[in-house]
Amino acid sequence: MITKNFFGAVVVALTLAVAVHARTPQDKSTDQAKPTQKIPAGSKVYVAPMEGFETFLSTAIAKKKVPIQIVQERDKAEYEITGVAESKKAGAAKVLIMGSWHSNEDASIRVTNIKSGEVAYAYSVHKDNSAHGKQSTAEACAKHLKDEAVNPK
């Protein structure tokens, strides 16, 4: 038989979980490395296959107006973007207790000078409760690439 004390403890625990979750920052971006060299505007950049994330990243680069030229062949590029992205879909408990079906997203990119092999820029981002999935992390990567790594004309 469930007692009032047990039921009260469960309610308190759930309330605390909701309160802690509500105060958790939604975007936990971290720069992994500051650029050691600026990527010149107009540089030809190859976006390597990343299990589908390359499509989101290429679209985000265009949307955020990053002043680089995406090329389809690696041998025509000066720089290469490689990386990984991971989605963690909301579990049944999160949906039932928190009422949230949004996923948690992680992505990391690295821009490498193809000739020298030097890493020009690296960036990682984590987004809790992402309503737009990989699109959100790709746009964060593109925004920071534009703001921190690409040398404007």
- pTM of model > 0.85: no
Question: Could you give the CA distance from residue 87 to residue 127 in angstroms, rounded to a whole number?
Answer: 10
Pair 75, 103: CB distance under 8 Å:
no
pLDDT tens, residue by residue, 101-130: 456 778 899 999 999 999 999 999 876 655
Q: What is the mean pLDDT of residues 23-38?
A: 50
Report all structural domains of the chain as residue ranges with CATH numbers, in order of start: 32-151 (3.40.50)
